[in-house]
Amino acid sequence: AAGVIQSPRHLIKEKRETATLKCYPIPRHDTVYWYQQGPGQDPQFLISFYEKMQSDKGSIPDRFSAQQFSDYHSELNMSSLELGDSALYFCASSLGGSLNTQYFGPGTRLTVL
């Protein structure tokens, strides 16, 4: 079965640069979630979208923004990168908003030098 696709899988950036992470949900899924997992930490919720509208927001820095497009894929834009932004970024998708199970992608490992 098709799974959540994330690209790129690995990304290396310098401080103060920008990064864009992409997430392609499971076909027919209309809801996307973004999570951040720092080294040695548990995943933390950042933001979610349902039917292209922001549905919930967690501890997402103002330097980060995200959106969901008409084909339901989502992009997480990160500006003025800091060393502390180095983390795994996971995208998850579900069908029908928060009513159904979230399935996670393989993640993007961002390293900020």
Which residues form the interface with another protein (CB under 8 A)?
4, 31, 33, 35, 42-45, 48, 50, 55-56, 58, 88, 90, 92, 97-107, 109
Max Cα distance, the chain (Å): 39
Query: Least distance to another protein from the beta carbon of 90, Å?
Result: 5
**Can you say how many angstroms the Cα of residue 38 is from the centroid of all Cα atoms in its chain?**
13
Shortest distance in whole angstroms from residue 48 CB to another protein: 6
Nearer to another protein, 75 or 79 (CB): 75
- Choose between 9 and 16: whose C-beta lies nearer to another protein: 9
Report how far residue 54's alpha carbon sits from residue 56's, in angstroms, rounded to the nearest whole number. 6
Q: Are 72 and 79 in contact (CB under 8 A)?
A: no
CA dist., res. 68 & res. 74, Å (int): 4
Phi, psi values for residue 85, rounded to 5° = -80, -10
Of 29 and 80, CB closest to another protein: 29
- The distance of closest approach from Cβ of residue 45 to another protein in the complex, given in angstroms and rounded to an integer, is 4
- Nearer to another protein by Cβ, of 73 and 79: the residue is 73
